[in-house]
Amino acid sequence: MTARTALLTALVCAAVSCTGGSTGGGGDATLKGRITEQPGTQSQALRAPGDTFAGEGTLSEATTVKLNSVGSDGKLTVVAEAKVAAEGSYSLQVPAGQKKLVLQAFDASGKVVGSGIVEATAAVGQTSAAMPIDSETSVEAEVFVDMVAQGVAVADANAIDLRARIDTATAVAVKQTVIGGGDAKARVHALAEAIAAAERTQVKAYAQAGVQTSQAALFDAELSAAQALDVALDAKTDAAEAYATFFGKLDAVAEAAGANAKQRAEAESSASVSFRATVKARLSADPVADAALRIAAALEARASSAAVEAILSAGSASTEVQNQAVAAGVKLRADLKASAGASATAQAWASYAATVSGSADVSGSALGNYLEVTAATKIAAQAAVDATVNASAALDAALNTAISASVKATGAIDFDALATAVVDSYAAYRTSVEAQSSAMVAFTTRAQPAIDVLVVSQGSFRVGGQ
C-alpha cells in the first residue's frame, strides 16, 4: 500500500466543482474527488477490452462519474451523476449519510474506465472527499461488488478491511492480466473469496478470544480512519505517512473493542491463513496470487511484530531486549518487501522467529535475553521453545487438513466451516504452548510473557508460505 504513491503521480489538480448537472435528485451532501493515472507506457489507444482498472489514459478518457448504491445481489443503482472536469476533478450532489457505495468513471461511450469505494457520504450540507480513483481503488471496488454478488451481506462486507488487503502490486497484477488478454474477472473473484474468508475468520478468532464484534461493527468504528485516509490522499499527503496513521487508527479501534495486541495478531494470523489458502487454491501460480500473498504476509508481519513488542514492553523487558525485538520486526518487513517468492517469504518468517525466540537455540534470542537464561535455566527455556516448534508443526498439519476439506480449486467455499476449522486449529496450538508455563516457573513473572511471545512468534505465517 505504501507503493500507492506511484499511482498518484498523474498530472491532476485539487478537486473543484465541475460543470454539468447531477442526477442525484438534488442530494443533500457533496462528494468531491479526482481521477488519476498510473504512470507507464500504455497509451489511451491500447486500453484492452474489459480493462476497467484505471491507469494510463484514464484522465483523458473519463467524462462522467456515477455514484452507485450496492444491492444485496451486487447490482449497482445510480444515485448521483456528474461531469468530470478536464483536469480530472468532479463534484456530485449525493444522498447524505449513505454507506458502502461504489463510484465509477465512464468514458464518452459509456464504458467503465475506473472505480472506487466510497465508504460513506457526508451529513446533510457537508462535503466529503473520495479516494482518488486509480488502479488500486478500481480493483478494490470490483472486489467489493463481487463479494456481495457471491452472497456476502453488504453489512458483513467490510470495505475498509478490504482496502487494507489489496495493495498497488496486487492491482497492477490484475490490470496486467487483462492487458495480456487474461481473465481479470476470475482474479477479482478469487480475491473476493479470499477476503470474505479472511473477514469471516478474523471475527471468529476474535470471538474465540472473548472479543465479541462483527465486520459491520468494525466497519462503523473504522469509518473515521478510512475517511481521514481519503482526505489525506486526496490532498496528496505522503502515502506512507497516511497509511501509517490509518493502520494506527485501526489498531486503536480493535483495542477499543477489547482486542489487545496479542489477540489482534492471532486474529490476523488466522485470517491470513484463510486468505492465503483461498488465493493459492483458486489462482495457483499466478502474478496476482504472488502479489496477494505478499500483502497478506506484510499485514501479518505488522500485527505479529507489534504484538511481540507490546508483550515484551508490558513484561518490563530491558531497553536492549525491546530494541532487539523491534529490529527483528523491521528486518522481517524489509525481507518480505524484497522477497522474490514464497520460499523467500517463508525464510524471512523463519529468520524472524529464530531471532525472537531462538528456535534451535534460545540463547542470544530476544526471548533468551529477556529471560536472562543461564546454564541452569536454559534447559527449561529451550524445552518450552522446542515444544512450541513441535506445536507449530502440528498446527500446520491441522490447518492443511482444514484447508483441504474446505477449499478446492473450484466450487463454492464454506466460509464458516473454513473459519471455524482454522480458529479451532489455532486454539489447540495455543493450548499446547500455554501448557509449557508449568515448566517455566523458574522465570517467575517473566514466564507468562515468554509464553505469549512463543505463541505469536512461532504461530505466525503458518502453512501458506511453505
pLDDT digits (tens, 9 = 90+) for 313-331: 999 999 999 999 999 999 9
pLDDT at 20 over 50: no
Cell readout for 162 is: 478490504
Q: How far is CA 433 from CA 17, 204, 343, 444, in A?
A: 59, 21, 26, 17
φ, ψ of residue 128 to 5 degrees: the values are: -130, 160
Collapsing DSSP to helix, strand or coil, 225 comes out as helix
Each domain of the chain, given as residue ranges in start order, spans 2-256, 315-459
pLDDT at residue 123, rounded to an integer = 95
Question: Which residues, in sequence order, are CB contacts of 327 under 8 Å at separation 6+?
Answer: none
Residue type, 172: V
Judged by average pLDDT, the poorest of 124-128, 179-183, 430-434 is 179-183
- List, in sequence order, every residue forming a beta bridge with 340; answer none if it has no partner: none
Question: Which residues, in sequence order, are CB contacts of 448 under 8 Å at separation 6+?
Answer: 315, 437
User: Residue 423 carries which DSSP code?
Assistant: H
pLDDT at 9 over 50: no
pLDDT band at residue 340 under the 50/70/90 scheme: confident
Distance CA 158, CA 282 (A): 22
Whether the CB-CB separation of 70 and 76 falls below 8 Å is answered with yes
Collapsing DSSP to helix, strand or coil, 116 comes out as strand
pLDDT band at residue 51 under the 50/70/90 scheme: low
Longest Cα pair distance anywhere in the chain, in angstroms? Answer: 80
Distance CA 308, CA 436 (A): 18
- Give the closest residue to 269 by CA, choosing from 103, 423, 382: 423
Whether the CB-CB separation of 362 and 378 falls below 8 Å is answered with yes
Q: How far is CA 184 from CA 179, 283, 296, in A?
A: 9, 11, 20
Distance CA 158, CA 298 (A): 19
pLDDT at 209 over 60: yes
The b/e string for 203-219 (b: 16+ C-beta within 10 A; e otherwise) is bbbbebbebebebbebb
Higher pLDDT, 263 or 178: 263
Helix (H) or strand (E) holding 397: helix 378-406
Q: For the chain, give the percent of residues with pLDDT over 70.
A: 89
pLDDT at 40 over 50: no
pLDDT band at residue 13 under the 50/70/90 scheme: very low
Handedness of CA 92, 97, 98, 102 (dihedral sign): positive
pLDDT averaged over every residue in the chain = 89
Instruction: Put residue 40 in one of left, alpha, beta given phi > 0 → left and psi -120 to 50 → alpha.
Output: left
pTM (2 d.p.): 0.89
Average pLDDT over residues 371-389: 95
pLDDT band at residue 4 under the 50/70/90 scheme: very low
Helix boundaries (H) for 81-122? none
Kindly report, residue by residue over 436-459, the tens digit of the pLDDT.
999 899 999 999 999 999 999 999
pLDDT band at residue 56 under the 50/70/90 scheme: low
Whether the CB-CB separation of 130 and 178 falls below 8 Å is answered with no
Q: For the chain, give the percent of residues with pLDDT over 90.
A: 78
pLDDT at residue 1, rounded to an integer = 43
Angle, helices 261-283 vs 184-208, to 10°: value is 150
Q: What is the DSSP string of 275-306?
A: HHHHHHHHHSS-HHHHHHHHHHHHHHHHHHHH
